[in-house]
Amino acid sequence: MKNIRLLLVDDEDDFRQTLAKRLTKKGIPPEQAENGQKALSILENKRMDVVVLDVKMPGMDGIEVLHHIKKRYPKTEVIFLTGHAATQDGVHGIKTGAFDYLSKPIEFEHLFGKIKQAYEKIEREEEKLKEAEFREHMEMQMVTTEKLASLGTLAAGVAHEINNPLAIINESAGWLKLIINKEEMAQMPRKQDFEKALNKIEKGVMRAKRITHQLLGFARKDDSVFSEVNIMELVEEGINLVNMEAVYKNIEIVREIAPDKNTIWSDPSQLRQVLINLLTNAIYATNVGGKITIRLEAMDETITLIVQDTGQGIPKENLNKIFEPFFSTKPPGEGTGLGLFVTRGIVEKLGGIIEVTSKLGNGASFYIMLPRYFKIKKDLDQDERIQFLEHLAEQSNSTQ
């Protein structure tokens, strides 16, 4: 109530100033305007919650001012002050969008009450709007999660079915290769063409196999094995596995991990997969001579592992897409577009959250927040969603 932004518009100076004084005493110092023109110019510079507006004014009258206000500042509430027994004006005002009207001479307490009501209405509307926005956001996210879940099931089924014909193609090509490399085939015409085509077939099969296996890896049943994991050791292992690439591009890998509090209870092999995926991406994104920083922030209940690179960064329009399946910026054949999709799947399965921040040209940072003790859940599907929504709620609270 204290911080209501109030504007008083009336051409009768005495009346307006007296009213302003009393309102100030009540803790609501209003802005003042002696005509419609002035009122609109004040509104242009400062948003008002409530405008108390006299209908009868020389020049631009109240109705006209109200029109302007409602058109440009639909959230601002207007209380009309009409002349004695001019009910017509009041009704017209309400039809145009005024909150209410009072007939002069007005009772101060009455007006004060109306201002309060108008402000409460604004608060209610804002709350409703925020709630609607939140719900919309949440629904969108839920649709995405559900879409991804059913997509995962479908993809796994397709991948499984495709593996069989792939195996047939693979064996057929392999057999032909064996034949044309036999001694009796040494003089075979256009042998090189055959060899070339067969190699391409085998390469194509390998590529398809990579995709099917990654898809199946994502949809794999819950076969996690939990144990105590030392994050520092895990990071070293991960770095060792990708180190060749890093050395080749002269990329420095910096570890910022305190030796204490870095053990958690989780699935080491899946976490290793996450780390390798993120490091591989970081190395791919980082230019020659760049730097990758791995940082661990350990809290009592959670840990946050951060992989930060000095690469080209992720354009804003892609930030929402990078965790979607089959989204890749690598040239065709190099990336499956499943790396981060699978990574997120793993992190969420382990009860964690993965987030990314990036600025084009300034590298990217991936944050993995994991619980220190993974709690094994009874109804995994149900719980995962609840946790997800709670996280959303937290996020929207912190931004309010």
Using the rule CB under 8 A, which residue among 179, 185, 258, 393 binds another protein? Answer: 179
Using the rule CB under 8 A, which residue among 171, 233, 256, 383 binds another protein? Answer: 171
What Rg do the C-alpha atoms of the chain give, in angstroms?
Answer: 33
Shortest Cβ distance from residue 191 to another protein (Å)? 16
Which residue's CB is nearer to another protein, number 135 or number 160? Answer: 160
Q: Are 82 and 103 in contact (CB under 8 A)?
A: yes
- How open is the CA angle 136-139-145, to the nearest 5 degrees? 145
Using the rule CB under 8 A, which residue among 3, 45, 164, 400 binds another protein? Answer: 164
**What does the per-residue mask of binding to another protein show for 220-249, with x meaning CB under 8 A?**
xx-x--------------------------
State the amino acid at position 21 in one-letter form: K
Residue 126: CB atoms within 10 A of its CB come to 11
Q: Report if residue 160 touches another protein, rule: CB under 8 A.
A: yes
Dist CA 365 CA 318 (whole Å): 14
State the amino acid at position 89 in one-letter form: D
Dist CA 125 CA 186 (whole Å): 84
Q: Report if residue 277 touches another protein, rule: CB under 8 A.
A: no
State the amino acid at position 86 in one-letter form: A
The shares of helix, strand and coil residues in the chain, as percent rounded to the nearest 5, are 55, 15, 30
Q: What is the DSSP letter of 27?
A: T
Dist CA 79 CA 336 (whole Å): 62
Q: Report if residue 273 touches another protein, rule: CB under 8 A.
A: no
State the amino acid at position 17 in one-letter form: Q
Q: Report if residue 212 touches another protein, rule: CB under 8 A.
A: yes
CB-based contacts of 270, cutoff 8 Å, min separation 6: 224, 346, 349, 350
**What does the per-residue mask of binding to another protein show for 182-201, with x meaning CB under 8 A?**
x-------------------
Q: Report if residue 261 touches another protein, rule: CB under 8 A.
A: no
Q: Report if residue 21 touches another protein, rule: CB under 8 A.
A: no
Q: Report if residue 219 touches another protein, rule: CB under 8 A.
A: yes
Q: Report if residue 163 touches another protein, rule: CB under 8 A.
A: yes
Q: Report if residue 167 touches another protein, rule: CB under 8 A.
A: yes
Which residue's CB is nearer to another protein, number 220 or number 321? Answer: 220
Q: Report if residue 373 touches another protein, rule: CB under 8 A.
A: no
The token pair at 327 is 């989204």
Residues engaged in binding another protein (CB under 8 A): 156, 159-160, 163-164, 166-172, 174-175, 178-179, 182, 205, 209, 212-213, 216-217, 219-221, 223
